[in-house]
């Protein structure tokens, strides 16, 4: 694990992959190795980018780290718990308690307003004051005047800001972002990048980004590079 002490990072490991492998059987026989022998740890408060070309295994790795898919072998420790020792319901609860998600395609529910999209996971988790929390976070991302708007009436950048509000409102220990600027134009993407890191600094969240955007990766303290399903680089950027 790489920890930059100059940035005041804790040495507490919040997420750890150990010898992860993911393979799928091919209809023609044999198997396709998607990920091979992936091992690394993430410290509390760290900002980490996982980069690589399309098909390098970035999104597959993120799905394993979140417990959304199972590895062929290996383990993932989330806050000290082996998530694959849990059943599906237990993994879902662990995700809800510890992880926030931001996706390239926003993943907003079209039948719910911006406010309701942010409220829903809070209500499902039994959080008190879900409406007030949703309103506060939507105001924080500049959408206080758009609370009652449905996703179809919001621009791509506005939809991603709703997604950011939804993710941070739950106060996750770790935020996982999968190509968060992939569906946005360059100018809007830069605004979203700035907002992600600003909100992350305010919240003290551990941030793990999957991206092919080198500019986005440069904003992180640490970069892991995948190539053909293997880690070929793992380095901390100079302070």
Buried b (16+ CB within 10 A) or exposed e, 20-42: bbbbeeeeeeeeebbbbebebbb
Buried b (16+ CB within 10 A) or exposed e, 52-65: beeebbbbbbbbbb
Q: Please, where are the H alpha helices in the chain?
A: 58-65, 88-98, 114-124, 130-140, 156-169, 186-203, 214-218
Q: How far is CA 12 from the centre of its chain?
A: 19
> What local confidence, expressed as pLDDT, does residue 91 receive?
93
CA 105 to CA 194: how far, in whole Å?
19
Instruction: List Cβ neighbours of 236 (8 Å cut-off, separation of 6 or more).
Output: 2, 3, 4, 221, 222
145: left (phi over 0), alpha (psi -120 to 50) or beta: alpha
Quick one: DSSP state of residue 145?
A: G
pLDDT per residue as tens, the chain (239 positions): 333 333 334 469 999 999 999 999 998 888 999 999 999 999 999 999 999 988 899 999 999 999 999 999 999 999 999 999 999 999 999 998 899 999 888 999 999 999 999 999 999 888 999 999 999 999 999 999 999 999 999 999 999 999 999 999 999 999 999 998 888 898 998 899 899 999 999 999 999 999 988 888 988 999 999 999 999 999 997 55
> What local confidence, expressed as pLDDT, does residue 1 receive?
36
Residues 128-158 pLDDT 10s: 999 999 999 999 999 999 999 999 999 999 9
Where does residue 193 rank: exposed (0-12), middle (13-18), buried (19+ CB within 10 A)? buried
Residue 60 dihedral angles phi and psi, to the nearest 5°: -65, -40
> What local confidence, expressed as pLDDT, does residue 8 receive?
39
Q: What is the pTM of this model?
A: 0.86
**Given 3-state DSSP classes, what are the helix, strand and coil percentages for the chain, each rounded to the nearest 5?**
40, 30, 35
What domains does the chain contain, in order, with CATH numbers? 5-236 (3.40.50.300)
Instruction: List Cβ neighbours of 73 (8 Å cut-off, separation of 6 or more).
Output: 19, 20, 21
């Amino acid at each position: 694990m790489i920890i930059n002490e100059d940035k005041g990072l804790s040495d507490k490991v919040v997420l750890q992959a150990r010898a992860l492998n993911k393979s799928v059987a091919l209809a023609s026989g044999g198997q396709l190795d998607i990920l091979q022998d992936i091992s690394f740890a993430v410290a509390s408060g760290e900002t980490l980018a996982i980069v690589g070309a399309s098909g390098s295994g970035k999104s597959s790795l993120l799905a394993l780290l979140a417990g959304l898919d199972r590895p062929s072998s290996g383990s993932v420790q989330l806050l000290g718990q082996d998530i694959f020792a849990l059943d599906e319901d237990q993994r879902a609860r662990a995700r809800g308690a510890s992880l926030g998600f931001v996706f390239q395609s926003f993943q907003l529910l079209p039948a719910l307003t911006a406010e309701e999209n942010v409220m829903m996971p809070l209500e499902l988790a039994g959080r008190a004051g879900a409406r007030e929390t949703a309103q506060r976070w939507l105001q924080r991302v500049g959408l206080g005047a758009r609370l009652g708007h449905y996703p179809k009436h919001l621009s791509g950048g506005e939809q991603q800001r709703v997604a950011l509000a939804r993710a941070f409102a739950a106060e996750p220990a770790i935020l996982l972002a999968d190509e968060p600027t992939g569906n946005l134009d360059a100018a809007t993407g830069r605004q979203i990048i700035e907002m992600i890191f600003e909100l992350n600094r305010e919240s003290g969240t551990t941030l793990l980004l999957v991206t092919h955007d080198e500019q986005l990766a440069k904003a992180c303290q640490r970069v892991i590079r995948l190539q053909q399903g293997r880690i070929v680089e793992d380095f901390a950027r100079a302070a």
